[in-house]
């Protein structure tokens, strides 16, 4: 998204749904961090092909630049938790009653969509 639509738009679009008060703060923190790393990779490699971007992102995961959730629901560097040792989310959903979200709110529909850019 960063390469195609610009960093500001990509940040705003990818971050909008994280304001949903029913989203638990731990996976939200993971998403925000990993999205920022992805944007930084795109910013540093503006002419990379999609295949090159995939390789760069995969390397960032291997290098521990991303974060994942381990089986204890703790954020850890992506190189600290081997595949299969991360949190199971399909059968173990996060709680949706999250009073720590304070003034977070559902942002509603996005003001722009990729095809409109």
Q: pLDDT tens digits, the chain, 117 residues: what are they? A: 898 888 998 898 888 878 777 788 888 999 999 999 999 999 999 999 999 999 999 999 999 999 999 988 899 999 998 888 888 877 777 777 766 666 665 556 656 555 544
How many whole angstroms separate alpha carbon 105 and alpha carbon 64?
A: 31
The closest alpha carbon to 60, from 43, 85, 41, belongs to 41
Residue with tokens 């749904």, as numbered in its chain: 17
Q: Which two tokens stand for residue 55?
A: 């390789």
Could you tell me if 39 and 11 are in contact, meaning their C-beta atoms sit under 8 angstroms apart? yes
Give 70's strand partners: 86
Whole-prediction pTM value?
0.79
Give dist(CA 64, CA 41) in Å, integer.
Answer: 14
């Amino acid at each position: 998204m960063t390469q195609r639509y610009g960093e500001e738009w990509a940040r705003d679009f990818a971050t909008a749904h994280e304001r949903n008060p029913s989203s638990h703060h731990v996976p939200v923190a993971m998403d925000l961090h990993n999205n920022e790393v992805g944007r930084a990779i795109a910013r540093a490699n503006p002419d990379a092909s999609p295949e090159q971007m995939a390789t760069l992102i995969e390397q960032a995961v291997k290098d521990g630049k991303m974060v994942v959730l381990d089986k204890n629901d703790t954020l850890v560097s992506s190189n600290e938790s081997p595949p299969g040792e991360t949190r199971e989310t399909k059968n173990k959903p996060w709680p949706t009653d999250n009073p720590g979200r304070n003034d977070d709110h559902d942002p509603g529909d996005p003001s722009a969509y990729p095809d409109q850019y």
